[in-house]
Amino acid sequence: MKVLVIGGGGREHAIVDALARSAQVEKIWCAPGNAGIAAQAECVAIKETEVERLRDFAAANEIDLTVVGPEVALAAGVVDAFKAAGLRIFGPTKAAARIESSKEFAKDLMAKYAIPTAGYRAFTEYAEALDYVASRPLPAVLKYDGLAAGKGVVIAETLEEADAALKDMLLDDKFGEGKVVVEDFLTGPEFSFMCFVSGRKVWPMALAQDHKRAFDGDKGPNTGGMGAYSPLPFVTAEDERYALEKILQPTADAMVAEGCPFEGVLYGGLMKTPQGIKVIEFNARFGDPETEVVLPRLKSDIVDIFCAVADGADTQLEWHDFATLGVVLASKGYPGSYEKGHEIKGLDRVGSAVYHMGTKADGGRILTAGGRVLFVVGKGATLAEARANALKDVVQIGCDNLFYRTDIGHWAFEK
């Protein structure tokens, strides 16, 4: 089979890696890919949002299966364009991807189908939003309604902070056309429950936990994710069953009922609150960096799964028992502004899997080329062993402009 992967981060590197393990795969292309992916796939210089060029490339190269990584490609309608051309593609249509691209769509869907989530109201007027926030207890949870690369959420501890965020989101048009969802503040450990979904069929993946804050102790600004691990000792089998039966399955069914059946990965960002498990957000794609710790634990052939989802067929998932724990190396300054082009050395000394998130080849050298740069994934019989392996390898990597967290997995070790 000839396979094309769309995207160029750590998630896509892990997808390419999983495809490379399949005996059914003859050749992999990745658009645009990155310096790490280039070792396992032929990188093609087409951007993730250049829908027509991607479609024409797939048709011209007789690609049997295309797998979409990033949300921007979904929101640009890449799946719709491929389907219209009769090309097999793994991912949701633009209409189904609204479960991620529009917070209001997701919240309305959950309200209509009684899927447990935080209470909320949506606003377009700055003054109304501020009045509402002022009338309620702090902290206030403010979510910009649209894609904002994981940075569209502000947890405001004071009214001044809430005011500044609402101005940004509704008056300054910093993100684009403005709408804001104001949510009740929930507490408890968060976890990511990704499922392969094809209409009403739902195949759950192993659970993972991301670490969104930039610094140790869950301090600092929210990022796209600074580390992840799998499995999760604090989520019981009963919790998992509840999340599947009360959240993921009813959501898949709701999408069918709404006339936009979901195909691809439905990602539940869930919180285990004192009042039960609730949805914090849905994503319409594999999580990053969760995918990099979950797919290595997948025993089944991923091609069978992608094809079953795309073709509406049946399949089964099997998982390895070992644990994985990954640490992100990010550019100093991330998630704010940062420099690119710093040389990375010592990758050959690393025994763990290294997924490239934002790198560029420059002759024989590998340079930093993004906010999140590398993801080192340790493996072990236990999470403690996986963490020791990851941290042992992280220090082998030499680069003067990277930082990382040393406490990834702390929820698993403290509780």
Task: List contacts with ligand AMP (CB under 6 A).
Answer: 118, 141, 143, 150, 153, 155, 183-186, 190, 212, 222, 269, 280-281
Q: Measured from the CB of residue 15, what is the shortest distance to ligand AMP in angstroms?
A: 22
Whole-number CA gyration radius for the chain: 21
210 binds ligand GLY (CB under 6 A): yes
Binding mask 158-197 for ligand GLY (x = CB under 6 A): ----------------------------------------
Taking CB within 5 to 8 Å according to partner kind, which of ligand GLY, ligand AMP, none is near residue 222?
ligand AMP
Q: Which range, of 101-109, 280-288, 335-343, 370-378, touches ligand GLY by CB under 6 A?
A: 280-288
Shortest CB 9 distance to ligand GLY, Å? 10
Q: Which does residue 17 touch among ligand AMP, ligand GLY, none (CB within 5 to 8 A, set by kind)?
A: none
Q: Of ligand AMP, ligand GLY, none, which one sits near residue 141, judging by CB under 5 to 8 A according to partner kind?
A: ligand AMP
Decide whether 17 or 288 has the Cβ nearer to ligand GLY.
288
69, 74, 80, 86 alpha-carbon torsion, rounded to 10°: -10
Residue 397 touches which of ligand AMP, ligand GLY, none (CB < 5 to 8 A by kind)?
A: none
Q: How many CA atoms lie within 13 A of 93 on its CB side?
A: 14
| Contacts with 363 (C-beta within 8 Å, 6 or more apart), sequence order | none
* Closer to ligand AMP by Cβ: residue 54 or 118: 118
146 pairs with which residues across the strands?
none
Listed in sequence order, the DSSP H helices in 167-276 are 237-242, 249-257
Give the whole-angstrom CA distance, residue 247 versus residue 117. 9
Please report where in the chains the tokens 């949701």 appear, as a residue: 92
* SS3 label, residue 145: coil
Number of neighbouring beta carbons within 10 Å of residue 206: 22
Task: Write down the H helix ranges in 25-183.
Answer: 51-60, 71-75, 78-84, 98-101, 103-112, 126-134, 159-166
150 binds ligand GLY (CB under 6 A): yes
Q: Is 220 helix (H, G, I), strand (E, B) or coil?
A: strand
Residue with smaller CB distance to ligand AMP, 82 or 411: 411
Q: Is 380 helix (H, G, I), strand (E, B) or coil?
A: strand
Pick the binder of ligand GLY from 8, 92, 204, 225 (CB under 6 A).
225
Shortest CA distance to 329 belongs to which of 409, 410, 252, 408? Answer: 408
Pairing of strands 65-68, 89-90: parallel
- Nearer Cβ to ligand AMP, position 35 or 165? 165
> What minimum distance in Å lies between the beta carbon of 150 and ligand GLY?
5
Identified binder of ligand GLY from the candidate list 287, 296, 326, 335, rule CB under 6 A? 287
Tokens of 224: 């796209």
Q: Where on the chain is the footprint of ligand GLY (CB under 6 A)?
A: 150, 210, 225, 283, 287-288, 290
